[in-house]
Amino acid sequence: MSSKMTYLEAIRAGLRYEMQRDPRVLVMGEDVGVYGGAFKVTQGLLEEFGPDRVIDTPMAEACMVSVASGMAFMDLRPVVEMQFADFIATGFDSIVNFAATNHYRWGAPVPIVIRAPGGGGLRAGPFHSQNPEAWFVHTPGLKVVAPATPADARGLLISAIRDPNPVIYFETKYLYRSLRGAVPEGEAGIVPLGQAELRRAGEELSIISYGAMVHEALAAAETLATEGHSVEVLDLRTLKPLDRETILGSVRKTSKVLIVHEANMTGGIGGEIAALIAEHAFEDLDGPITRVAAPDTPVPYSPPLEDAYRPNAERILKAARELLAY
């Protein structure tokens, strides 16, 4: 059984499913209750679950994340909404120094989920468009997911909520209402953490991506197919822990790899994936590991600037053609 829904509706469906199943699950954040969230992801949840499980909070992200950790110690399962992924920086210390290290230091797990609506393309400017996932991928003790489809939006969220560790869930604002898809219902729709998904199989080139860029990569692959090229697209889905075997398996098959992410280049996840491939699949390569990512600037507001900033199918095509011709 499945139903068609938008990416945004799928996130809400995942929240509702877990809140109905487990009375310990609660949602907390700025404007998530009465207003239903800045993007309306949590709309209707207050009416269904009440103010003790859908909590409108003061504007205090650092406090909010650690309050969630304290609640988790007392056997609740809080899901914290950052209004924008950009704002997660104000809660950074509570995430990386407290939540991430706790189980290693004294053994108490911190089962919290932080939802972070990220990404650009919406003319939202430098502080409503960021992709800060690399900060958290670099932090031991966290898990990081980034769904690209409605099915994964629901399925990964359920897995994140059930995971006994702190999970940062990067959702993509650009896809909220622009992407609809089939979403399996019930337990069948659960997507395990740590498993990449092959979105398109191919023989000549692997494009490895996640989040909104998966769809740009698929568009590029479609165009390349009309030019006679067989390109595969791998959707990472979970950024930490990485699905190393699936990544390496794809590279060993195609021998050429293009890594695409919307976040800026330096210190991004693309570098980690490139190093993984260079270390473990060097002999299988038949071309330079190539990255398409945003330049190392803040995310600009003005349309021509943001369009020049944000990777897209056209830029992926250009890089892919060069790599295919190598």
Partner 1 sequence: MDLSPDQLTQAHYWMRLTRAFDDRVMKLHKQGKIIGGCFSQLGHEAISVGAAMALQPADVIAPMHRDLGAYLVRGITPRRMLAQHFGRATGVSRGRDTNLHGCGDLSLNIVGFVSMLPASMPVIAGVAHAFRLKGEPRVAMTFFGDGSSSEGLCHETLNWAAVFQVPAVFICENNQYAYSTPLSRQMRITDIADRAAGYGMPGVVVDGNDFLDVHTAAVEAVERARSGGGPTLIECKTMRMRGHAIHDNMAYVPQELLDAWAERDPLLRFEQHLRAHGLLDDAALADLNARVAAAIDDAQTFAEASPYPDPATLTEGLYR
Give long-range contacts, CB 8 A cutoff, 24+ apart: 216-221.
Answer: 216/260, 216/311, 216/312, 216/313, 216/316, 217/260, 217/313, 217/316, 219/313, 220/313, 220/314, 220/316, 220/317, 220/320
The piece of 51-59, 121-129, 205-213, 268-276 that touches partner 1 (CB under 8 A) is: 51-59
In this complex, which beta carbon is closest to partner 1, that of residue 162 or of residue 315? 162
Residue 284 CA: distances (Å) to CA of 254, 255, 278: 9, 6, 9
Residue 80 burial class via C-beta count within 10 angstroms: exposed 0-12, middle 13-18, buried 19 and up:
buried
In this complex, which beta carbon is closest to partner 1, that of residue 78 or of residue 121? 78
CA atoms in the 13 A half-sphere facing the CB of 142 = 25
The piece of 57-65, 153-161, 251-259, 295-303 that touches partner 1 (CB under 8 A) is: 57-65
Take residue 206 and report the two structure tokens written for it. 């692997």
Report the distance separating Cα 45 and Cα 37, nearest Å. 10
In this complex, which beta carbon is closest to partner 1, that of residue 102 or of residue 312? 102
Give yes or no for residue 66 binding partner 1 (CB under 8 A): yes
Q: Shortest gap between Cβ of 80 and partner 1 (angstroms)?
A: 11
- Collapsed DSSP state (helix, strand, coil) of residue 40: coil
Give yes or no for residue 50 binding partner 1 (CB under 8 A): no
Strands 257-264 and 205-209: parallel
The piece of 135-143, 196-204, 244-252, 303-311 that touches partner 1 (CB under 8 A) is: 135-143
In this complex, which beta carbon is closest to partner 1, that of residue 93 or of residue 245? 93
Residues in CB range of 230: below 8 A, 6 or more apart: 202, 203, 204, 205
Instruction: Single out the catalytic residue among 103, 128, 138, 229.
Output: 128
Helix axes 150-162, 7-21, angle to 10 degrees: 30
Q: Do the beta carbons of residue 153 and residue 184 sit within 8 Å?
A: no
Q: Do the beta carbons of residue 319 and residue 289 sit within 8 Å?
A: no
Q: Shortest gap between Cβ of 52 and partner 1 (angstroms)?
A: 5
The piece of 63-71, 124-132, 218-226, 306-314 that touches partner 1 (CB under 8 A) is: 63-71
In this complex, which beta carbon is closest to partner 1, that of residue 50 or of residue 298? 50
**DSSP-assigned letter for residue 169:** E
Give yes or no for residue 109 binding partner 1 (CB under 8 A): yes
Report the distance separating Cα 222 and Cα 27, nearest Å. 39
Give yes or no for residue 98 binding partner 1 (CB under 8 A): yes
Applying CB under 8 A, what is the total number of residues that bind partner 1?
39
Q: Do the beta carbons of residue 143 and residue 238 sit within 8 Å?
A: yes
Per-residue contact flags (x/-) with partner 1 for residues 2 to 41, judged by CB under 8 A: ------------------------x---------------
Of the residues 31, 89, 103, 271, which one makes contact with partner 1 according to CB under 8 A? 103
103 among known catalytic residues: no
In this complex, which beta carbon is closest to partner 1, that of residue 56 or of residue 284? 56
Of the residues 25, 67, 212, 218, which one makes contact with partner 1 according to CB under 8 A? 67
Catalytic residues: 128
The contact set with partner 1 (CB under 8 A) reads: 26, 52, 57-58, 60, 62-76, 93-94, 97-98, 101-109, 111, 140-141, 143, 164-165
